Amino acid sequence: MQEFDKKEFKKNVEEYVGVFFRKPIEEASRQQVYQGVAYTVKNMIIDDWLETHKTYEEQDLKTVYYLSMEFLVGRALGNMITNLKADTSIREALEELGYDLETIEDEEPDAALGNGGLGRLAACFLDSLSTLGYPAYGCGIRYKYGMFEQKIENGYQVEVPDNWLKNGNPFEIKRSEYATTVKFGGYVRMIRDEYGNDRFVQENYQSVRAIPYDMPILGYGNHVVNTLRIWDAEAIDTFNLDSFDKGEYEKAVEQQNLARTICEVLYPNDNHIAGKELRLKQQYFFVSASIQRAVAKYMEAHEDIHKLYEKVVFQLNDTHPTVTVPELMRILLDDYYLGWEEAWDITTKACAYTNHTIMSEALEKWPIELFKRLLPRIYQIVEEINRRFILQILKEYSSDAKKIEKMAILYDGQVRMANLAIVGGFSVNGVAKLHTEILKKQELRDFYEMFPWKFNNKTNGITQRRFLLHGNPLLVSWVTGKIGEGWITDLSLMEKLMPYTEDEQSRKEFMDIKYRNKVRLAAYIKENNGLAVNPDSIFDVQVKRLHEYKRQLLNILHVMHLYNKLKDNPDMEFYPRTFIFGAKASAGYERAKAIIKLINSVAEVINNDEAIQDKIKVVFIENYRVSNAEIIFAAADVSEQISTASKEASGTGNMKFMLNGALTLGTLDGANVEIVEEVGEENAFLFGLHSDEVIEYEQQGGYNPRELYNSDRDIKRVVDQLVDGTYSREDKALFAPLYESLLAGKGGEPADRYFILKDFRAYEAAQEKVEKAYRNMEGWAKAAMKNTAKCGKFSSDRTIEEYVKDIWHLSKVQK
Ligand code: NBG
């Protein structure tokens, strides 16, 4: 990258606009100017991108392939400008052209190729890998439609397709030269080759062409550019005379359809598996293409396939890419003619698996029938892996029949992907200390007993470059003014802010910034919801995917309770509160959608009740996504992290709030535990059942929500308000499913499965502490600053360094 030349930059933007749109810049639309800027910025990094890859090759560095169905990158332009350290100069250049940078950034659609935390984590990891200078590829799918856009109509969620590519994607480069073929279906035939060896060939299959699109992932100020490689499918041209002659018209059409559907859309499920055939196709499609290409690339520069694992490591982001294990085996066996033991040795040294949940509905299992029909050769290999593994189990635990039932890969007509991922790799990690302990002691206990050395913890992290540097400019200049800019690449330096917590002036400055960020969010809310909220009120925020275990229902029931109290006792002491929600529910998740409707209905009633004098406001932010998240985190006072203990593997929103100086109100779940360890219990608000208590109830029973309901008048009152028309005059049955989920359960599912009523009073008490604490502004300011100061551990840079040291064993590029 050369020195930034403003004149040159402006000229380039004008030229792009001219070439693409045949217009002088004065006549171009904002979107057209955005495109011009985006191409210009891409141009600024192209040389570094090439150079980085050349250097990797020269230094023959080991590469991690981070395989993930999801990369929730959000917008790229602002992030690239930040990482180029060209913020100020590009801002000035644009101003001279008559635009401000934010307006231009707003023209970019979010690349929403992910659902929630799991996808965003993958994006943060890529940012850290580049910034730290480690060779890495993100491998995923170029969904034509990403996470749906959420509209709220009459309080209901409506899903609108996210056509993010409609204006093209300036940052991607199509790499047709790396296209590969991926095969589905057909059957496997054994043939004897000329040397008398048995070989397996797949016949009568359908195939698609996998075409990679590369997106640059820029490190911060270091000229390192890694690649996010997302695959698109194209039909193989079968409409040639040959196939018509053979009467294969139908097959040709089928192949075209397969290619069209495979990358069409991201499944909008978070912590839940749809189990659809197309999903398995997506998984195999991107895995096969990525692994084939990775092996080919390795062989371009090395002779010995046996040493593949010295230069290549595959990290499986949850079980979704688990077919990596049998696919790599297939390549080694069928294409490189290795024997089983050799192939297995390489594979198990090259694959590592991250577990992201203990929720049973998210545990991937495929019906054998489907798996075998779609991936006949892969299935054969899985069968053999399973057969050998069972022999191993028998050898170690001959007398214990239960072990096979629990650990087999193929069991009860199903392929159990987690078991395959554990057996087929050298590392299994959870994403927070508590989560990893639960895996070892509960969910994966048998595997932990058999392979204790594989298990390790990697507490999640987030990139401060997006969630502070880009998202919160006011706080950035304050922090940098106090401690310099080292924190941008070493978040532990935030600790240096600690002395300022004792300084009154600094506390005032800090809270003033929070206030101005609240004003910014209030303006966003005014514009998007048409609702005025008071920046002097406590901004109490819960933004994350909607899921029963995350307990947005607990939050809104408590709001209903507060409102009851205020109505009963209008003169009670009450500090004004703005309860802010943002959440997408997956399209088929009825209860989650009912909770969204409930939040909006409660908002409607409370926000319009003049009697309570604006003491409570309830806001549902439509279409919560990476780009508006940055604004929301910056403005939060209270961070709601109230999942049922044991259910949230880590959480990463909790870290983004902390970084921006919000106090956690939460259960001892996931990474909350470690956040509180860092910041101190006195600077957070903890409540509720502990994970071992929850697990005990789940296993032994003994919790009866109806008893609680009958014995606690306030609880009974809010629960009844779900069905007495208070919030659904038009249709009293509207929230009956929520009422029943709390008191009756359904189809074998226990009532109040997520212990909402059980934790209600504890939550209320914690909320009272919040109010009390907020009244002491000095104390609050101190605590908020401490949250920012103590967030160092939660940088994804730290997480990546741990993956590198314990799992990947990469070396930094030498420049
Ligand atoms: C999610 C967990 C979160 C965690 C992210 C990233 C899945 C399957 N898991 O708690 O629910 O923070 O993964 O690790 O989406």
What spacing in Å lies between the alpha carbon of 397 and ligand 1's midpoint?
33
Q: What is the DSSP annotation of 690-725?
A: -HHHHHHHHHH----HHHHHHH-HHHHHHHHTTTSS
Query: Residue 114: CB within 6 Å of ligand 1?
Result: no
**Whether the Cβ atoms of residue 641 and residue 649 lie closer than 8 Å to each other:** no
Separation in Å, CA 130 to CA 110, 410, 797? 21, 39, 10
Q: What is the pLDDT of residue 238?
A: 64
- Give the residue from 244, 242, 239 showing the smallest Cα distance to 255: 239
Q: Active-site residue numbers?
A: 356, 544-545, 550, 652, 656
CA separation for the pair 475, 468 (Å, rounded):
8
C-alpha triplet 664, 668, 670: angle, nearest 5°: 90
DSSP-assigned beta bridge partners for residue 187: 203
* 460 CA closest ligand 1 atom index: 14
Q: Best mutation site among 71, 113, 353, 356 for ligand 1, i.e. most ligand atoms within 8 A of its Cβ?
A: 356
From the CA of 91, how far away is ligand 1's center (Å)? 36
Closest by CA to 30, choosing from 13, 5, 47, 49, is: 13
CA distances from 282 to 64, 228, 261, 367, 651 (A): 21, 17, 9, 16, 26
Predicted local distance difference test score (pLDDT) of residue 398 = 87
Burial 385-401 (b: 16+ CB within 10 A, else e): bbeebbeebeeebeeee
Q: Residue written as tokens 């439609």?
A: 145
**Nearest-5° Cα angle at 423, 421 to 424:** 65
Predicted TM-score of the model (pTM): 0.98
Task: Report helix, strand or coil for 464.
Answer: helix
What pLDDT score was predicted for residue 287?
99
Please give the C-alpha separations between residue 800 and each of 126, 222, 463, 465, 670, in angstroms, as whole numbers.
9, 17, 11, 15, 18
What pLDDT score was predicted for residue 54?
98
Q: What pLDDT is stored for residue 251 in this prediction?
A: 78
Q: Is the CB of 273 under 6 A from ligand 1?
A: no
Distance 650 CA to ligand 1 centre (A): 6
Which amino acid residue places its CA nearest to atom 13 of ligand 1?
118
Ligand 1 neighbourhood includes 364 CB (under 6 angstroms):
no
**Cα dihedral sign, 18-24-27-30:** positive
Cα angle: 498, vertex 675, 457; to 5 degrees: 125
Q: What are phi and psi of 571, to 5 degrees?
A: -95, 5
pLDDT at 241: 46
Ligand 1 pocket test target in 118, 270, 428, 657 with most atoms within 8 Å of CB: 118
**What's the number of CA atoms in the CB half-sphere (13 Å) around residue 710?**
5
- Tell the residue nearest (CA) to atom 9 of ligand 1: 356
Q: In the prediction, which pLDDT does 242 show? A: 55
Q: How is residue 50 written in tokens?
A: 């090439």
**Blockwise average pLDDT, block size 10, the chain, 815 residues:** 83 97 96 98 97 98 98 97 95 96 97 98 98 98 98 98 97 98 96 90 94 98 98 82 62 87 96 92 98 98 98 98 98 97 98 96 95 98 98 92 95 98 98 98 97 98 97 98 98 98 98 98 97 98 98 98 98 97 97 98 98 97 96 98 98 98 98 98 98 98 97 98 94 96 91 98 98 98 98 99 98 94
How far is residue 78's CA from residue 80's CA, in Å, rounded to a whole number?
5
Atom of ligand 1 nearest to the CA of 435: 10
The CA 594 to ligand 1 mean position distance, Å, reads 23
321 lines ligand 1 (CB under 6 A): no
Q: How far is CA 153 from the centre of its chain?
A: 26
CB 72 within 8 Å of CB 122: yes
Dist. CA 269–CA 584, nearest whole Å: 10
Distance 186 CA to ligand 1 centre (A): 36
Q: How far is the CA of 358 from the centre of ligand 1 (A)?
A: 10
CB 356 near ligand 1, within 6 Å? yes
